[in-house]
Amino acid sequence: MHPGSCSGSQRWIIHEANLALQQQLAARLQVPKSFAQCLINRGYPDHAAATKFLEPKLAQLSDPYLLPGMEAAVDRLVRARSSGEPLVIFGDYDVDGVTSTAILTEFFAAFGWTASYYLPHRRDEGYGLSPEAVENCLTKFNVGLLLAVDCGSSSAEVIQKLAGRGVDVIILDHHQLGVPEPTPCAFVNPQLLPTNSGNADAAGFKNFCSAGLAFKLAHALLKRGRLDGWEGAEQFDLKPLLDLVALGTIADIVSLSGENRIFARYGLERLETSPRTGIQALKRAAHISGKVRGYTVGFQLGPRLNAAGRLETALDALELLLTRDESKAAVLASRLDMQNRERQEIEQKMVDEAVAKVRGNFDPARDYCIVEGAAHWHIGVVGIVASRILREFHRPVIILGNDGTETLRGSGRSIAGFDLAEALRACGEHLLKHGGHGMAAGISILQHKVGAFRDQFNSIAREKLTPEMLQPVLTIDAEVQLRDLTFDFFRLLERMEPTGLGNVPAQFIARNLQLHGELKPFGQESQHLKFQVTDGAMRHYALWWNYPGEMQIRGRFDLAFIPEMREFNGSYGLQLRVLDLRPA
C-alpha cells in the first residue's frame, strides 16, 4: 500500500495493485481486475482461497473439541443430564449474552436437561458474575452447577467462593482472561489457546463471540449424544440455531472472517425466512422486510434486543427469542421497540453533552486517549456514547456513568493498534473491576480514582500509539472508472457480504470527477448531502452522510466511495456512498 494525500483529517491509503496476480486471479474467477484486487487485499490471492471466501460452506466448520476446555465442559454437562441434576445458565445482558443463553436453553430443552436461565440487571447487579448477581441467582435457583456464558473470565474470586459452597462453574466466554485466572471445573475460552499454536482453526477461534462458542458447545454435545445414542440425536439439526448465532456475532462486532463469516452468512439467510416467532415479531416492529443484511442486524435488530438490557433487564429480549406465542412475541417486540426509542433519546442527550465536554478539554497533542464521565450519565448507554466519541476524535475512549453509588461504571472502545483490555490490566491498581477484549471493554472505578486512572491510561496510550495511528485512515481497494460501476459489478460485491470488522466493504476511488447539477442538503439539520458526479461520459448519484460542511465541492476532484444499491418508487439504481473527497 502507498499513502495518498490527506483530505480533512483522514489519511488515504491506496492498495498497491499487484498487476500480475490481479490479472491471474481475474482470469481464473472471470471477474473484473478491480474485484480481483479486492480479494487480494483481503488475503485471498489465489483461486482456492478466493473461492473458499466467496462460497463459505458449513462443512468448513472445524471440530468443536479443538477448543480448550470443551471436553471437560461436555463431560460435566452430560453427567448433569444423566443424573437429572439441575443447572442454571448465567448469561449477560447484551445481544451476544442473550443469544448465547437462548441457543443453549433451546438445545438443553431438546435433550432433557433441567436448565434454568438468569440474566443480571445492568444497573442493580453490574456486569457478569458479580457477587450480588450470583447471590440473587442462587437464591432463585438452588443448583450445584452454573454455566456462565459471555462472562466469568475475570471472576476468579467469585468462582473460588462458589467452589467452597459446592457449586461447580463452567465458563463459556471469549473475553480476555483476568489476573489471576479463574479455576472453574471447565473453562471454554479461545484466549486460553497458545498465541503461536500454528493451528489455523485455533487461531480463528480467537475471533469468536460467545454465541459462536455456544453453537460449538451444542455441536460438541450433539456429537457426544450421537455416540451415546441419545434419542433424537441422529435427526437433530443445528442449522435452525444459526439465526441466533448471526445475531450475536454481528451485534458483538467481532471479526467477520473465518468461521464467523460462515456463521454470519448462513445465519443472515435464516433470519430472512426464520420461522422463529420472536424474530418475525421483531422484524415487524422494526419495519424490516426482504433481504436481511449485516446492517439490518447491526442497526435495526441488534439495538432493539440490546435496549432492554441497557435500560432495565434483558429478560424481555431473551424471552422474545424463545417464545412460540405470537401474542406474547408482539407485546415483547413492541416493548423493545419503545425501549429502543427511549434509549435513543437518552443516548443523543448524552452524546451532545459528552462531545461538548470533550471538545472543551481536548488537546490532540496532549491527549492520546479520552476518559470522561458525569454522575447523571446512564450506564446503560455509555458504550454507545463511547463509540460515537471514538468516531469523532479517533482516540481510545472510556465513558463513565453513575449507578447511584460512589462507584462509576464505564465502557471503552479502542482504535487499531491499541489493546484496550491489556491497557486496563496495566491500570488495575486504580480499578475495582475491568474486563473485555482488545477493542471493547468495561470498568468499575471509585470517583476519586478517575484522575489517577486517566493519567496512567494516557501515559500507556502515549507509549503505544504513534501520531500516524491517531489519524483516521481511509483504505482504498482500487481505482475504478464510473463506467465500471454496473449492476453486474455490484452483484459481485454482494458476494463479499456480510461485511464488517475484519471484512470491510470494498472501497474505491474514481479520479478527476466534477459536480453535475446542484448540491441537495437533506436531513433534520441538513447534515447530509445528495448530488451527482460525472467524469464527462457517465453520471452517478452520490450520497454523503454527515457531510463536513467546511469542505467545498468544486472544480475537479477525486472521490472515495462505496458502491450501493438504491431503491426509489420501485426502481433500482447504483449510488456512491461518499467516504471522502480531495482535489484531483
202 and 80, same domain (yes or no): yes
97 and 228, same domain (yes or no): yes
The last residue of one of the domains, among 416, 445, 464, is 464
H, E, C per residue of 526-538: CCEEEEEEECCCC
Can you give the pLDDT at residue 3? 39
Residue 332 counted as domain residue: no
458 and 543, same domain (yes or no): no
- The closest alpha carbon to 222, from 208, 212, 232, belongs to 232
497 and 577, same domain (yes or no): yes
Count: domains in the chain: 3
| Cα(193)–Cα(105) distance, integer angstroms | 27
537: left (phi over 0), alpha (psi -120 to 50) or beta: alpha
The CATH number covering residue 495 comes to 2.40.50.460
501 and 545, same domain (yes or no): yes
Bridge partners, 400 (sequence order) = 373, 410
Compute CA 351 distance to the chain's CA centroid, rounded to the nearest angstrom: 20
Q: Residues 546, 527: contact at Cβ < 8 Å?
A: yes
DSSP state of 299: I
Does an H or E element contain 355, and which? helix 326-361
**What range defines the domain where residue 533 resides?**
2-16+474-583
Can you give the pLDDT at residue 198? 59
Cis peptide before 32 (omega within 30 of 0): no
| Cα(433)–Cα(411) distance, integer angstroms | 12
* Amino acid at the residue 538: M
- Grid cell listed for 292: 436481511
Can you give the pLDDT at residue 336? 96
Does an H or E element contain 103, and which? helix 95-110
Q: Residues 396, 424: contact at Cβ < 8 Å?
A: no
Can you give the pLDDT at residue 8? 45
Compute CA 313 distance to the chain's CA centroid, rounded to the nearest angstrom: 21
Binning the chain into helix, strand and coil, the percentages to the nearest 5 are 45, 20, 35
539 and 432, same domain (yes or no): no
Residue 25 counted as domain residue: no
126 and 260, same domain (yes or no): yes
CB within 8 Å of 407: residues ≥ 6 apart: 432, 444, 445, 446, 447
Residue 144 counted as domain residue: yes
Residue 208 counted as domain residue: yes
| Cα(366)–Cα(8) distance, integer angstroms | 20
Residue 558 counted as domain residue: yes
- Grid cell listed for 149: 456464558
- Grid cell listed for 501: 470488522
CB within 8 Å of 76: residues ≥ 6 apart: 145, 168, 170, 185, 186
| Cα(15)–Cα(476) distance, integer angstroms | 6
Can you give the pLDDT at residue 206? 86
Helix (H, G, I), strand (E, B) or coil at 202: helix
The last residue of one of the domains, among 434, 464, 494, is 464
Residue 356 counted as domain residue: no
481 and 460, same domain (yes or no): no
Can you give the pLDDT at residue 525? 86
CB atoms within 10 A of CB 566: 13
| Cα(354)–Cα(203) distance, integer angstroms | 38
Q: Residues 379, 398: contact at Cβ < 8 Å?
A: no
CB atoms within 10 A of CB 147: 31
* Amino acid at the residue 353: E
What is the biggest distance separating any 2 CA atoms in the chain, rounded to whole angstroms?
77
Residue 280 counted as domain residue: no
Can you give the pLDDT at residue 9? 62
386 and 499, same domain (yes or no): no
Can you give the pLDDT at residue 296? 92
Can you give the pLDDT at residue 253? 87
143 and 254, same domain (yes or no): yes
Q: Residues 263, 242: contact at Cβ < 8 Å?
A: yes
Residue 236, φ and ψ in degrees, nearest 5: -65, 135
The CATH number covering residue 226 comes to 3.90.1640.30
CB within 8 Å of 449: residues ≥ 6 apart: 430, 431
- The closest alpha carbon to 170, from 69, 248, 85, belongs to 69
The CATH number covering residue 433 comes to 3.10.310.30
Can you give the pLDDT at residue 127? 82
CB crowding 25-47: b at 16 or more within 10 Å, else e: bbeebebbbbbbbbbbbbebbee
Residuewise pLDDT in 10s, the chain (584 residues): 443 333 346 889 999 998 999 999 999 999 999 999 999 999 999 999 999 999 999 999 999 999 999 999 999 999 999 999 999 999 999 999 999 999 999 999 999 999 999 999 887 888 889 999 999 999 999 999 999 999 999 999 999 999 999 999 999 999 989 889 999 999 999 999 987 655 665 667 889 999 999 999 999 999 999 999 999 999 999 999 999 999 999 999 899 999 999 999 999 999 998 889 999 999 999 999 888 999 999 999 999 999 888 877 899 999 999 999 999 999 999 999 999 999 899 889 999 999 999 999 899 989 999 999 998 898 888 988 999 999 889 999 999 998 667 889 999 999 989 999 999 999 999 999 888 888 889 999 999 999 999 999 999 999 999 988 998 999 999 999 999 999 999 999 999 999 998 899 999 999 999 999 999 999 888 889 999 999 999 999 999 998 887 778 889 999 999 999 887 667 788 899 999 999 98
The last residue of one of the domains, among 241, 274, 307, is 274
Cis peptide before 180 (omega within 30 of 0): yes
Block residue for cell numbers 447511584: 404
Q: What sign has the CA pseudo-torsion 412, 417, 422, 426?
A: negative
Can you give the pLDDT at residue 571? 74
459 and 510, same domain (yes or no): no
Q: Residues 423, 461: contact at Cβ < 8 Å?
A: yes
pTM of the model: 0.89
Residue 478, φ and ψ in degrees, nearest 5: -165, 160
Residue 124 counted as domain residue: yes
| Cα(444)–Cα(456) distance, integer angstroms | 16
96 and 215, same domain (yes or no): yes
